[in-house]
Amino acid sequence: MPSYYFEPPYLIVNFKTYSPEGVGKKAYELAKILEKAANEYGVTIIPVPANIDLTKIIEEINLPIFAQHADPFEQGSYTGFQPIMPLKEIGVTGTLLNHSEHPIGFTKLEKTLDLLNREKIMACVCAASPLLSKAAASLEPWAVAMEPPELIGGDVSVTTQPEIVKETVRLVDEVTKETLVLCGAGVKTDEHVKGALDLGTLGVLLASGVVKAANQEEVVQKMAKAMVEWKEKNN
């Protein structure tokens, strides 16, 4: 049993490569804010630091840490790539795959998932639409995160389009009961987090709403509180 929380709902915070807010010393400070909120509220928060910060954050932060990407190779002569065995070696819990900013296509996705499953590394596969979420879910990753690319990084939350979020939940559920549904893009407030959960997802994948917030801690604390309220209502 890990000493951190790993039960729904999930708040996955992608640091991307926002600089200076999301890298180096700032990445560590943000991860500390996430760790504090997870412990205070008893909720699952997953930092997704940039590749350059993964090792330090894994060593210093007691939360499940995901990578932003993994390549479908084991290890070896792959300059600039992120193969599976080094990720395993440094202790990642999981990884994002096929993010809109790093699409890999179905064949590579399948191969990468095979290797990740073998090494027991979790995968959150990003998909740009309900139908693509269904296709990704057919491979039974840990989670699928539906993110309309046009809303990523903007001020309009995916939850303002409830029909596509509900459709994603329905389509994935048709294919498998094993894969969780998350959503993301434009998620910036506790109300958006609550909205995503009320639409039937088990959490959100977000970035700018936290990483680029004027007061990161305040935003994270409010989101964690919304998660607790959802848990209380649904238990």
Smallest distance from ligand G3P to CB 84, Å: 21
Q: How far apart are CA 102 and CA 85, in angstroms?
A: 20
* Residue 100 neighbours by CB under 8 Å, 6+ apart: 126, 128, 147, 149, 152
2 vs 150 by CB, closer to ligand G3P: 150
DSSP per-residue letters across 151-183: GTTSSS-GGG-HHHHHHHHHHHHHH-SSSEEEE
From the list 35, 69, 99, 167, the catalytic residue is: 99
Site for ligand G3P, rule CB under 6 A: 14, 99, 147, 152-153, 184-187, 205-209
C-alpha distances out from residue 180 to 146, 203, 206, 229, Å:
11, 9, 16, 20
Measured from the CB of residue 141, what is the shortest distance to ligand G3P in angstroms? 15
Query: Is 147 among the catalytic positions?
Result: yes
> Please, what is the minimum distance in Å from the beta carbon of residue 74 to ligand G3P?
26
Select 97 or 113, whichever has its Cβ closest to ligand G3P.
Answer: 97
Report the Cα–Cα distance between both ends of the chain, in Å, rounded: 21
Cα angle value 159/165/169 (rounded, 5°): 145
Pick between residue 39 and residue 82 the one whose CB is nearest to ligand G3P: 82
Which CB atom, from 18 or from 41, has the smaller least distance to ligand G3P? 18
Interatomic CA distance for residues 11 and 158, integer angstroms: 15
Nearer to ligand G3P, 133 or 208 (CB): 208
The continuous run of DSSP H or E covering 124 comes out as strand 122-127
- Residue 77 phi/psi, 5-degree rounding, is -85, 80
Nearest partner of 81 among 91, 61, 67, 62, judged by Cα:
67
Catalytic residue among 35, 69, 147, 192: 147
Residue nearest to ligand G3P (CB): 208
| Cβ 211 to ligand G3P shortest distance, Å | 8
| Residue 99 bears catalytic tag | yes
CB of residue 20 to ligand G3P, shortest distance in Å: 17
The catalytic site residues sit at 99, 147
